[in-house]
Amino acid sequence: MRKKSLFAALTLMICCALPAAAEPADNEAALRAQLDSALWPGDIVRLADQYRRQFPDGPAVAAAAAWRERAAESMRVLGRNDVRLHRAAFRPAEPAEDWAADLRLAALGDRAAAIRLAHRARLSEDGNAVAHRYVGWLQYATQLGDERASYELALHFRQQAQPVLAARYEDLALSLGFQPPVALDNLRK
């Protein structure tokens, strides 16, 4: 009797577990939707690889390859020691559509979107954690090659009385092609 109840319990567990195991993103449309909505570059790389592996002739295989390449470059930039931007920065602070759109573009290496996110972080009222996110987004945009972000960082660090970092980002802005105004600001040291 005990064997029958054990067998019945195991059978019930297996039957209940099968639908959950068969549900992962095997469906092309579901996987494509996950890929379209991913905001973290590492997730985009992983999902693009999964899509290309599972659906090599799928309708979005070219887009997945392009997104994977762009997100991989973003991951390389995020892995640098001089970029202080983490996964939490890629989660929308507000449920607004434009936040998610800019986060997606930034995850794919869009410098302008990273600058917009930096400015939003600067305008937020969340205090010191957001100030670090402002700097992180500007560092990210700088390493993606945006000279305006580098110059903005130079001004920020000058205002924070950090002349070594200010000089570093000013030199980087100049090397990226930025043409500074004749007078930087009234705090020149």
Task: List the domain boundaries for the chain.
Answer: 20-78, 86-180
Q: 8-17, 81-90, 144-153: which has the minimum mean pLDDT?
A: 8-17
pLDDT reported for residue 24? 43
Percent of the chain with pLDDT over 70: 75
Which residues are CB-contacts of 153 (< 8 A; sequence separation ≥ 6)?
135, 138, 139, 142, 165, 169
pLDDT reported for residue 35? 92
Which residues are CB-contacts of 80 (< 8 A; sequence separation ≥ 6)?
143
Residue 106 predicted with pLDDT over 90: yes
Domain 86-180: which CATH class?
mainly alpha
Q: What is the mean pLDDT of residues 164-188?
A: 77
pLDDT reported for residue 126? 59
pLDDT reported for residue 50? 92
Give me the chain's average pLDDT, please: 80
Residue 112 predicted with pLDDT over 60: yes
The pTM is what?
0.76
Q: How far apart are CA 59 and CA 62, in angstroms?
A: 8
Which residues are CB-contacts of 178 (< 8 A; sequence separation ≥ 6)?
147, 148, 150, 151
pLDDT band at 108 (very low <50, low <70, confident <90, very high): very high
The model's pLDDT over 16-72, given as tens digits with 9 standing for 90+, comes to: 443 433 344 458 889 999 999 899 999 999 999 999 999 988 888 999 999 999 999
pLDDT band at 128 (very low <50, low <70, confident <90, very high): low
